């Protein structure tokens, strides 16, 4: 059997919705001779479950193997052209770019008056957009056209255009600075996760002090405020100050007084809801969490909201990730496992479309959910998808704690014969990633000691001793991050009290929530 290979053209075709495929075929209906091959290749790829280049060529004599790469490239271009036309009516930025192209065409033909008339229409339309770069592009064309459109108020118009351009350039400078800092923070987070020690904290703090000017957010535009809140929220996430994360994520979400209808702002709204839900879960604000989660889910069926593929994937990811978080909060791991069984087929399909970071976090969350429901074999399955991943430089913290949970899972399964090997392997990994801290050392030493012959009463005493040591770390500035990844205290209490982890977490939740 030929080796299956991924292909951008095949992936693009598989991402199309039924109505988008139909539009492409109608648009290219009636093509003759060589042009017809594009549609024929489209049909062949659409039918395939997995891309197989050799199979397509061998089963279709009309394909010239030498020309196959060119045929694919042209079909790819035709699909993009079709999608551009299809989405144009619902995407204001695409419409504006098309109008700017028309201005260019008219200008090149010396039809300056017609160019100016069209430009004024575009200026009115672009006022609704917050795309600063497009606004600047329109002003550039106005500067080009003004010398060809002499009028009584010409000096006034020139001054107005200059003022508008300067104001937009100032905003673009601020947005660039904020987005650059956001990208740097995101790159650090995707690599290491939460700060691990004083060195990490000092580096993040220095980055903020060096690159974030002392601006007044009250003077910002809507877009700038979103970026400002995201940056502040990121800093407090790094240091696990979830009260501040909650504060800034609420400010973020509250910026949206109504459901946004542009793809950019809807994406930012979803991200804001996601951050707010994470903070509510960490602070055990269960009732607020449930209401925010309902707001998130309702977006999928909102009659005014149009979701592209990117937004659908985000909504799917956030909706189910936070449904799992809801079960974690009150110890209802059995309901979480039932949900996983219902959505398993859909879940695997969506996993293929997630970025590697989101995929990794989802795997870890699912593994912990199975662990909480005492389904240790399924937990191992998902942990192994993390441990065996080639992307070990993404979220090194999750990789580290996946190995810790993996050890505990093997202990629960009674696999004492492999625990010593996994302890050595975990030590090596943590040292390599510079993530061997007091919490991890205590767990590894504890598990190493369990491999020896001890009585049940001695075992309980060791569980109690470890619990006392770990409780001291909960208030530690840096070691407290460990409890974000895995509720080790509840696991120890479950062993001490001979109860399930789910029961322990449920009892704690009832006390905290007065349920």
Alpha carbon distance 330, 325 (integer Å):
9
Tokens of 143: 């500067």
Residue 232: pLDDT band (50, 70, 90) is: very high
Residues 6+ apart with CB under 8 A from 239: 194, 195, 201, 204
Helices (H), 283-436: 286-298, 309-330, 333-351, 356-372, 376-387, 396-412, 416-432
Alpha carbon distance 378, 337 (integer Å):
10
Tokens of 372: 């909480």
Residue 34's pLDDT is: 66
As a 3-state breakdown, the chain gives helix, strand, coil percent values, each rounded to 5, of: 80, 0, 20
Instruction: Give the least confident one: 232-246, 343-357, 364-378, 462-476.
Output: 343-357
- Spacing of C-alpha 444 from chain mean position: 32
Answering whether pTM is above 0.85, one says no
Conformational region of residue 52, where left means phi above 0, alpha means psi within -120 to 50, and beta covers everything else: beta
pLDDT per residue over 106-139, tens digit each?
999 999 999 999 999 998 888 777 788 899 999 9
Residue 3: pLDDT band (50, 70, 90) is: very low
Residue 218's pLDDT is: 85
Average pLDDT over residues 13-30: 86
Residue 513's pLDDT is: 79
pLDDT per residue over 296-349, tens digit each?
998 877 655 667 777 888 888 899 899 999 999 999 999 999 999 888 878 887
Look at the domain 338-515 and name its fold.
1.25.40
Q: Provide, rounded to the nearest whole percent, the portion of the chain with pLDDT above 70.
A: 94
Residue 1's pLDDT is: 34
pLDDT per residue over 175-208, tens digit each?
999 999 999 998 888 888 888 888 889 999 899 8
Alpha carbon distance 283, 325 (integer Å):
12
Alpha carbon distance 63, 43 (integer Å):
13
Residue 314's pLDDT is: 86
Residue 304's pLDDT is: 55
Q: Is the pLDDT of residue 211 over 70?
A: yes
DSSP 159-210: HHHHHHHHHHHHHHHHHHHHHHHHHHHHHHHHHH-S--SHHHHHHHHHHHHH
Residue 391: pLDDT band (50, 70, 90) is: confident
Q: 147 in helix, strand or coil?
A: helix
pLDDT per residue over 324-337, tens digit each?
999 999 999 999 99
Q: Is the pLDDT of residue 150 over 90?
A: no
Residue 316's pLDDT is: 86
Residue 88's pLDDT is: 78
Residue 258: pLDDT band (50, 70, 90) is: low
Residue-range domain boundaries for the chain: 8-88, 338-515
Average pLDDT over residues 217-229: 88
Q: Is the pLDDT of residue 380 over 80?
A: yes
Residue 101's pLDDT is: 94
pLDDT per residue over 453-490, tens digit each?
677 888 899 899 999 999 888 888 888 888 888 889 99
Q: Is the pLDDT of residue 2 over 80?
A: no
Under DSSP, the state recorded for 453 is -
Tokens of 500: 């399930």
């Amino acid at each position: 059997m030929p080796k299956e290979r991924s292909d951008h053209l095949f992936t693009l075709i598989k991402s199309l919705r039924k109505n988008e495929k139909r539009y492409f075929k109608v648009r290219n209906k009636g093509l003759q001779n060589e042009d017809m091959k594009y549609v024929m290749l489209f049909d062949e790829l659409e039918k395939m479950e997995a891309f197989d280049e050799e199979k397509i060529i061998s089963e279709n004599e009309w394909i010239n193997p030498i020309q196959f790469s060119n045929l694919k490239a042209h079909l790819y271009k035709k699909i993009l052209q079709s999608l551009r036309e299809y989405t144009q009516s619902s995407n204001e930025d695409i419409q504006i770019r098309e109008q700017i192209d028309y201005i260019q065409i008219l200008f090149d033909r010396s039809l300056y008056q017609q160019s100016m008339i069209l430009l004024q229409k575009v200026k009115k339309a672009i006022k609704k957009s917050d795309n600063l770069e497009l606004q600047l592009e329109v002003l550039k064309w106005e500067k080009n056209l003004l010398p060809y459109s002499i009028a009584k108020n010409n000096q006034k118009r020139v001054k107005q255009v200059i003022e508008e351009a300067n104001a937009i350039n100032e905003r673009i400078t601020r947005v660039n600075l904020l987005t650059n800092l956001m990208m740097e923070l995101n790159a650090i987070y995707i690599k290491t996760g939460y700060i691990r020690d004083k060195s990490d904290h000092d580096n993040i703090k220095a980055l903020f002090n060096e690159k974030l000017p002392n601006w007044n957010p009250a003077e910002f535009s809507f877009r700038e405020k979103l970026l400002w809140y995201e940056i502040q929220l990121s800093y407090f996430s790094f240091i696990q100050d979830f009260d501040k994360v909650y504060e800034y994520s609420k400010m973020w979400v509250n910026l949206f007084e109504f459901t946004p209808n542009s793809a950019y702002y809807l994406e930012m709204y979803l991200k804001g809801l996601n951050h707010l839900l994470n903070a509510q879960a960490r602070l055990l604000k269960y009732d607020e969490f449930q209401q925010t989660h309902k707001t998130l889910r309702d977006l999928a069926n909102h009659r005014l909201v149009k979701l592209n593929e990117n937004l659908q994937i985000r909504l799917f990811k956030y909706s189910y990730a936070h449904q799992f978080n809801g079960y974690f909060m009150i110890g209802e791991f059995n309901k979480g496992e039932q949900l996983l069984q219902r959505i398993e087929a859909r879940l695997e399909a969506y996993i293929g479309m997630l970025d590697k970071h989101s995929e990794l976090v989802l795997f870890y969350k699912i593994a912990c959910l199975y662990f909480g429901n005492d389904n240790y074999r399924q937990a191992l399955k998902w942990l192994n998808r993390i441990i065996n991943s080639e992307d070990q430089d993404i979220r090194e913290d999750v990789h580290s704690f996946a190995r810790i949970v993996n050890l505990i899972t093997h202990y629960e399964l009674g696999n004492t014969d492999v625990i010593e090997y996994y302890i050595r392997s975990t030590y090596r990994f943590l040292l390599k990633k510079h993530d061997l801290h007091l919490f991890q050392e205590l767990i590894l030493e504890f598990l190493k000691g369990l491999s020896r012959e001890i009585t049940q009463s001695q075992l309980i005493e060791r569980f109690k001793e470890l619990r006392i040591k770990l409780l001291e770390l909960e208030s530690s500035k840096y070691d407290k991050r460990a409890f974000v990844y895995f509720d080790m205290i509840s696991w120890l209490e479950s062993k001490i009290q001979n109860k399930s982890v789910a029961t322990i977490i449920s009892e704690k939740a009832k006390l905290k929530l007065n349920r």
